[in-house]
Amino acid sequence: MENKNNITEAIREIIDTRGISSLEDYAVFCAVLDDIAPLAKVERNIVHRCLDNNTALNLIDIYNSDTDKQTHLFNIINEYLKECLGVSEEWRMTFLSSFASAFTCNYVFSTDKQVETDVKIASSENNNADNRKVLENDIINFERYKPNIIGVGAGHIVGLKNDGTVAAVGDNSFGQCSVSNWKNVVAISARSNQTVALLSDGSVVETGARYSDADVSMVHNWKDMISISCGDNHIIALRKNGKPFGCGANQKGQCDVLPWNNIIDIAAGYYHTLGLRKDGTVVAVGDNKHGECNVSEWTNIKAIAVGPTHSVGVRSDGTVIGTGKNDYGECNVENWSQIIAVKACQRYTMGLRSDGTVILTGENTADQYDVSGWTDIVSIGIYFKPAGLGDIKVTLVGVQSNGNVKVAGDTDFGQDKAENWNLFSNSSPVAVGQTSSSEYEEDSYGFVPKFDPKAEEIRKEINELNEKLSTLKGPLSALRKKAIEEKIKELNKQFFWMK
């Protein structure tokens, strides 16, 4: 390890030259990590892979906060590094102490033995309410949650592996499991018959089917993105400057997110989209038939989720608020506590507690979809599949801290095979789909019939037109671009719906 004084100076230099807000820039944050632990290759890679913007924001809060909050946030980061990532005490001490010195904080790193002693003392005096505040269980550890490592669609599940590749299982009728060639993935999202991924260079890829009027080809031109959310018929991505972008079906205005600023998280549903601002408030666009966009008065929100007709938010104190359609109890979340993340689908809302357990509300939850035995969960996903005559089939997924996957609910397409995965090991299977490999071949756009000359012709024309788009310049380029994009849209319709 480098000398701590040198590390502290490196942090101070970055803050002095680029400002404290530069820690929100993932590349800068990783550069700081390289300065802190240049020789701890394994642990540095773990942190590069798993630390998200919440940790950077916590560090910024530490820099700007009073002593009590500084200590609290440092303890949360320390707990996250230890319990969720398994980072050694030596590295954690260097990391936290370096930032404390750079921020001129009075934080003193407590060794693991000291923490154990403090907890034992607090436990022996648990009749005294004043001592309860030192118990670890009273800290709502939002950093425990690992976003965008699991995705659930109408008949498929995708999982982000530790090496940046993606595993997939289930229905592959539309190529939604065609992910075996994806590399350097840092986030995934799935919904309906579609899968979307964010790559480490800030670009976005997608595969699968969407409704005929939902052209999502624009995502292939996106750059500098830090987060993605796949809706049923649209895709929303967030750029690192806090500006979101949307594409796809927009019949209810669900893609009209360009005016938003200072966004740190996004959630795309069916006909509406939510955005979480840095100040903890929430904005919404799209259909509000059931009140699903009535979020303007929400405050202190840490996490958001959307179903087709309802919206859910997690407050900083671990309580939950919901709005929208509630015919099946999907918004009955007012009594939930210690929640760090939520997911939603038609008729259901799923919550992840700080202790790694999972709670569910909605239709027939006790009888059909039992997740009461799940423990040590760090990420969750849920989705429905209409089964006809108003019936709904629901698949629920949880990822444990060791990388193992839990599946509950309906698995008609073999989604339960995801329980064979370990996402934090490089030995996980890459893709298992229901589509016969003898009849179909994989392509960057999805699965297409083998030896189909028409499909190959369309694919080639799409690629050529995309190349033209990337080279357009000059005063007349806007008109030419529009014409080419319309042509690509029409070709995509033919390609994706070929039988």
- Among 32-36, 99-103, 203-207, 411-415, the minimum mean pLDDT is found in 32-36
Query: Is residue 260 scored above 60 in pLDDT?
Result: yes
Mean pLDDT of 28-32: 70
> What single-letter DSSP state applies at residue 81?
I
Q: Which two tokens stand for residue 309?
A: 């007709």
Q: Which two tokens stand for residue 488?
A: 């690509």
Q: Which has the closest alpha carbon to 237: 174, 186, 288?
A: 186
The pLDDT value recorded for residue 45 is 62
Kindly list the distances between the CA atom of residue 313 and the CA atoms of 245, 251, 280, 372, 384, in Å, as whole numbers in the listed order.
21, 25, 10, 22, 20
Mean pLDDT of 398-422: 94
The pLDDT value recorded for residue 439 is 40
Tokens 């592996």 label which residue?
Answer: 161
Where are the strands (E) in 316-436, listed by range? 320-324, 339-345, 348-353, 358-362, 377-388, 391-400, 405-409, 431-433
Q: How many percent of the chain have pLDDT more than 70? A: 74
- Among 201-215, 429-443, 480-494, the minimum mean pLDDT is found in 429-443
d(CA 162, CA 186): 9
Question: How distant is the alpha carbon of residue 454 from its chain centre?
Answer: 37
d(CA 175, CA 44): 35
The pLDDT value recorded for residue 4 is 60
Q: In what order do the strands lie in the sheet with 358-362?
A: 339-345, 348-353, 358-362
Q: At what angle do helices 41-50 and 26-36 cross, to 10 degrees?
A: 160
Q: At what angle do helices 26-36 and 53-64 cross, to 10 degrees?
A: 80
d(CA 155, CA 417): 12
Task: Tell me which of 16 and 492 has the higher pLDDT.
Answer: 16
Amino acid identity for residue 197 in this structure: A
Give strand pairing partners of 303: 314
d(CA 270, CA 345): 10
Query: Is residue 344 scored above 80 in pLDDT?
Result: yes
The two most distant CA atoms of the chain are separated, in Å, by: 77
Q: In what order do the strands lie in the sheet with 320-324?
A: 301-306, 310-315, 320-324
3-state secondary structure of 316: coil
pLDDT band at 40 (very low <50, low <70, confident <90, very high): low
- Among 168-172, 247-251, 328-332, 490-494, the minimum mean pLDDT is found in 490-494
pLDDT tens string 289-323: 999 999 999 999 999 999 999 999 999 999 999 99
pLDDT band at 382 (very low <50, low <70, confident <90, very high): very high
The pLDDT value recorded for residue 451 is 40
The pLDDT value recorded for residue 166 is 96
d(CA 96, CA 55): 12
Question: How distant is the alpha carbon of residue 365 from its chain centre?
Answer: 25
The pLDDT value recorded for residue 8 is 81
pLDDT tens string 136-159: 445 688 888 999 999 999 999 999
Query: Is residue 133 scored above 60 in pLDDT?
Result: no
Task: Tell me which of 100 and 482 has the higher pLDDT.
Answer: 100
Tokens 């019939």 label which residue?
Answer: 449
Give strand pairing partners of 341: 352
Q: Which pTM was predicted?
A: 0.63
The pLDDT value recorded for residue 487 is 79
pLDDT tens string 47-73: 565 565 567 777 888 887 777 678 888
- Helix (H), strand (E) counts: the chain: 10, 24
The pLDDT value recorded for residue 430 is 45
Mean pLDDT of 326-335: 94
One of 1.10.3720.10, 3.30.1360.30, 2.130.10.30, 3.50.50.60 is the CATH number of 142-439, namely: 2.130.10.30
Kindly list the distances between the CA atom of residue 262 and the CA atoms of 188, 277, 446, in Å, as whole numbers in the listed order.
22, 5, 34
The pLDDT value recorded for residue 144 is 87
Q: What is the mean pLDDT of the chain?
A: 80
Query: Is residue 204 scored above 90 in pLDDT?
Result: yes
Amino acid identity for residue 13 in this structure: E
Task: Tell me which of 108 and 222 has the higher pLDDT.
Answer: 222
Query: Is residue 29 scored above 90 in pLDDT?
Result: no
